[in-house]
Each structure stands twice: as structure tokens, then as C-alpha cells.
Structure 1
């Protein structure tokens, strides 16, 4: 069954329609106030004072009106994806970017070691299946990074968990906090230098490099706290899991990305996540087609397919919890000249 469907679809028309509702009137009605009270109740919201609450209310109501207008278009078959509110709907775009995005291409990144960085070279004669969904094979569920830009760590850890399960039948929950703390540029316990920045972002391949050399603790041994901490690495503890290395996909090559997902398993990808991404609740997402060079978020590509209208899509696992998207997942339109930059920086672990 297709995750999204429309009778007819014009990409340019849809982008124009979406943009038309970003600027919505801020007039507050009794209906708006009811929606605000419901939002505060649902997400246990409390504010420091009346000024703060009024400020947050205006942000929320403006976004709610925008989302309602968008979903009217969705119900009429004029856009491919639907939207919704969540606990972060009282924040500005700038606040969400600073607190939830975890990738910046300008971050310092050391050269990878030769034995770590290997390009995947697949066979051009390999017949790829039309549909792959590792969720159906036991991968997941989506986790929640909370109020911290640790998507890079969550995606890397979820990739290792997925490949351990697929290749070795081992199901284990591993620790993003371990990677955040110990592959930080401030961690000086190791001969290797790592340049990740915890809640301020990082490179997923550097996470793989750390796990190869030093292993990773389980989630229960090293719980997630959604904040930067000192590295709690203990040399005498042997309960760590390691990987043999990682591969990277040639930059921009969607064919190789698709082939890797099919033959090897889920792949960590870096994408652009913008205003509409945060409120995504299902359907075929395409609102970042023109922003593929502005990469700011890391997710896990766990599959691909084609809907009954012939539109290709990727299946992405985010780290915003199961309340975001389609139970934590997104359907991103595929084969549109590297949509959202998905194939620009793509990696997977060798377990």
C-alpha cells in the first residue's frame, strides 16, 4: 500500500501553495485560545511569566493556522504531505535550528583514516528490488534526541544497532550519550582526535571511527541525558560493542545509495531539514528540493519504494520520537537530483 497518493500533482504549484500560508494573520480568536489551552495541557507547558506565555502563544497560533491551511490543501489533493503540531510548536525556527539540528558542514572534520574510509563499489548489473523496508525486518523503532542537536549520534548508533541485527541477529540498544561525550573535541582520553560537538552537532562518520577504536556502551550502561557531559569511558569495563569500520557512498550518487540500502542495510544520510520538516506528519515530502546544499540534520535511510502513481520515495527514520512524522518516519521523494542533499554525505558501518 502506498504511503501517499494523489489524483494529480504539480510540483511547482504545490510549492507555491505551501509558501502562500507561511505568513498567517495573528488575530487571536476564542478558537485559537481553546487550541492554545489544549496544546499546553497536552504537552504540560508552563511559562515563567505572562509575557513569555503571550509570546509563545502567538508563535503557536500562527503555526497552527499555517498547518490547518496546509492540511486543507492536503485533503483536497493539492499537496502530498500533511503536517501537525508537537511539543516544539511554540518555538521559533531559529530556536529549533539551534536546539534540534545537529549538523553543520562548516564544522572541523579531520581526514579519515585510510582503513576507515572505504567507498562502496557495487555492481551495475545487480538487479535491485523495487521495494525495500528494513522496518519490516525488525529495524527501529525511532528514538527521541530531545532538546539537543544530537541527531548525528542517534543516526550513527541506530545504524550500528540495525546492522548488528541484520547481519548477526543481535538486538541491542546502544548509547548515543557515550558517542556525544567521548567523541567530543573536548575529550582528551584517547590518542585519536575527534571533532564532534555533542548537542551542538557532529559528523556521523567520526562517530563510527570512535566506535571502531573504542567501542560503545549499551544504553542501560550509559543512559542518555540530552546534554553535554564529560566522557565516562572506563578502560577496565569490557562490555563495549565495536565495529570493523565503515563505508561511504560516492557523493551525490543516488543509484549507489539505493543499492547500498538494498544490499547492505540502513544508511546514515545528511539532509536539509527546514520549517516544514519539523511539522511533517506523513505523505511524500518534497519541501527541500531547492535546498540540497544546506545540510543541517542527520537521519537513517531504512528503505525505498515507488507508489502506485510512479513516484519514487525513500523511507527515513528520524530521531524526534514516534510522535513525529509517520510514527517517527518520513517518506522523502526520490530521484529528484539528490533531494534534500540525501546522497551528499552517506555512510554505513561494517559490523
Structure 2
């Protein structure tokens, strides 16, 4: 007997076999096309909740906790439904975060060290390494050029800064050497602790400094990710390392500089990602509300245009089930210097000699 069986037995008349067939076909759990009555029927909401929970391996320790999560799930579902009625360029859908409140989501999955960010000196456009670039390709996608590893999952550890930095290093290493090597975020979480704080946040520039001053970063297979902080493991002499020679900052709030850099390599960027639209992004060119401050580290891996909408391709670290197989296309040319979600406010990228 399920948690809601006593309630559900009183609501049998609110559904039909055709309704169940419709839900069975909607295996991606998108609520696009569901009628308003579907979202008012407790049985159908419970069916969706149970199917979603099975899909994402959800387990609750008590009935009270499950009831609490069901209420949050319903609230998030209603937001997704209402948003999809209004938006034109992107859409939302259910994902593994659907039973989390916004506050819980922020505390578990966002980890950029914004306190340190406020103390950072701005980079001068005159010092920008790609400032003299004149001709840019209309589009670039470093995934197609073999410089991006598979989408990874940070889990409920605020280590986004490590994933952002590692993806940028993986990219420049492939561009320079021709070898795409998956590198260790866990080493940064465990060992880069002088300024970064493991699962409690950090900054990509500190990670670049660590990699540069410690002879390089180990491969992921040599130091696998465990979604929590651990004790730093000493490097062995025979362990292969991937090194960089330094890093550069992007000029703040400068879209042209971002595109110039992206034409040459993947870029670590900070964005605001605490808004519910970002939490449940499913596809399209995102131009919705993100939040009020930069709080999440991601990696820009290209740019392009579709249906007259210019966008930047961003690799996230919430697994391949989020967004467009782990990616989001974020709209550019929106008339704001800081860009959508503040994407131009904090950018940096590693340097590696040929």
C-alpha cells in the first residue's frame, strides 16, 4: 500500500484509462500539453510523483518527509506549468531537483565563493590576451572539436568551482596536445584548501593557481570523484599529471571579449543560478530569471545562433539529465553589459604552452 492509497481510493473517478496511457507516453515527465484538470487531480499528481521518484532513485525515511517532499514537488510542478505557458524561447521540465525548495537547492548545488569575488580586482581590457583578435567564426562548439569531456555530476557538494576549472583545463589541454583527458575534481576538493573550501565553495582562479603551482592535476581515474570532501592523497612519482602555465581573466562585463576567448578555448565563468527557472531548465535558449547574485561556476564551451537567437553554450555539472543533456544555451546580445545571469561578470581561462 502506497503512502497516498487511502486518499487515492476516494479519487478514482478523476481519471480514466486514456489518462494513464497519456502519462505512460510522457516518459520524459514533461508537463507540456497536460490539461489544467490533470494538475488538479491528486491521483494524477501522485502517479507523476511516484514515477518521477522511481526515475531518479528517490527514497524518503518517513511518511512525513515524503508528504513534505510531495508538497514541494507540487509547488515546483505548478511553477513549471505556469512558466511554460508564458515563455517563448525556452521551457522547463521536471528533474531530480523537483522535491527541493529553492533554499535547499541553493545550499546543496551552488558553491561559488562570492565573498572573495567581491574583493577581486577587475582585469583591464588592455591586458586581455585576445584583445587584438579581429575575425571571429559565426559559431564555435568545442564539443564538436573534441575538447569537452562527458558531462559530470557534482552531486550535493558545492564543488561547482572545481568542475568549472577542470573543464576549462581539459579543453586547453586537448587543444594544445590533441589528447582529451578527464581530470580530477576530487583532487581540487581535497587538496586545494588554502582559499577554496571544498564542498562549501571556491573560485576557479584559485583552482588554476593550485594546478599551476603543484605541477599539474591528476587524471580522474587516478583520483575519482566521491561527491564529498576527503583527505588529500599524496601524488605518486609515476602518476601522470596535466599541467598549465597560468591563467588569464576576462575583462568584466564585456561580451566581445568573451566571444574572442571562446573562439580559442573553453572558458570558466560565474553565473547566477539560484532562480527556479534555471533549476528546472529543460531546453531552448534561456533568457529567464536566474537570481540576484553570481553563485555558480560553469564552463562556456561555444556560441552560436538559432532562429535569430544568439546564445552561449554552457556546460553544467548537474549530470546529463539536467537541461539539454547537461548543457544550457544562454542567450546573448540582450543589451545588458553583465549578460544573462551575469555570465560576463566573472570569466577566466587557463594558459598552456605548446
Cα separation, 2, equivalents of 1:71 and 1:286: 13
Cα separation, 2, equivalents of 1:102 and 1:110: 17
Unmatched tracts of structure 1, length 5 or more: 1-25, 113-117, 185-193
Aligned residues: 305
Contact kept? 1:93, 1:275, Cα under 8 Å: yes
Cα separation, 1, equivalents of 2:310 and 2:222: 40
Measured against aligned partners, the alpha-carbon deviations of 1:106-152 in whole angstroms (never above 9, x if no partner) come to: 1489989xxxxx94233456111111111111223211111111111
Structure 2 matches for 1:183-262, cutoff 5 A? 183-184=192-193, 194-214=194-214, 215-234=216-235, 236-262=237-263
SS in 2 for 1:162: helix
Q: Which moved more, 1:329-338 or 1:92-101?
A: 329-338
Unmatched tracts of structure 2, length 5 or more: 1-38
Which stretches of structure 1, 4 residues or longer, exceed 6 Å deviation after superposition? 108-112
Contact kept? 2:267, 2:301, Cα under 8 Å: yes
Higher relative contact order at CA 8 Å, sep ≥6: structure 1 or structure 2? 1
Q: 1:62 aligns with which of 66, 72, 75?
A: 75
SS in 1 for 2:113: coil
Structure with higher Rg: it is: 2
Cα separation, 2, equivalents of 1:277 and 1:315: 14
Cα separation, 1, equivalents of 2:113 and 2:261: 25
Measured against aligned partners, the alpha-carbon deviations of 1:275-294 in whole angstroms (never above 9, x if no partner) come to: 111110111111237x5x61
Q: 2:136 aligns with which of 115, 128, 135?
A: 128
Contact kept? 1:251, 1:345, Cα under 8 Å: yes
Measured against aligned partners, the alpha-carbon deviations of 1:199-248 in whole angstroms (never above 9, x if no partner) come to: 11100010000000112111111110111112113364542221111111
Cα separation, 2, equivalents of 1:119 and 1:346: 14
Change (3 A) 1:148 1:323: same
Contact kept? 1:119, 1:248, Cα under 8 Å: no
SS in 1 for 2:269: strand
2:173 counterpart residue number: 164
Question: What is the TM-score with the length of structure 1 in the denominator?
Answer: 0.81
Question: What is the TM-score with the length of structure 2 in the denominator?
Answer: 0.81
Corresponding position: 1:343 with 2:340: no
Measured against aligned partners, the alpha-carbon deviations of 1:137-191 in whole angstroms (never above 9, x if no partner) come to: 122321111111111100101111111112210121110000111111xxxxxxx
Alpha-carbon shift at residue 72 of structure 1 (Å): 4.0
Corresponding position: 1:95 with 2:115: no
Alpha-carbon shift at residue 28 of structure 1 (Å): 5.8
Alpha-carbon shift at residue 50 of structure 1 (Å): 0.7
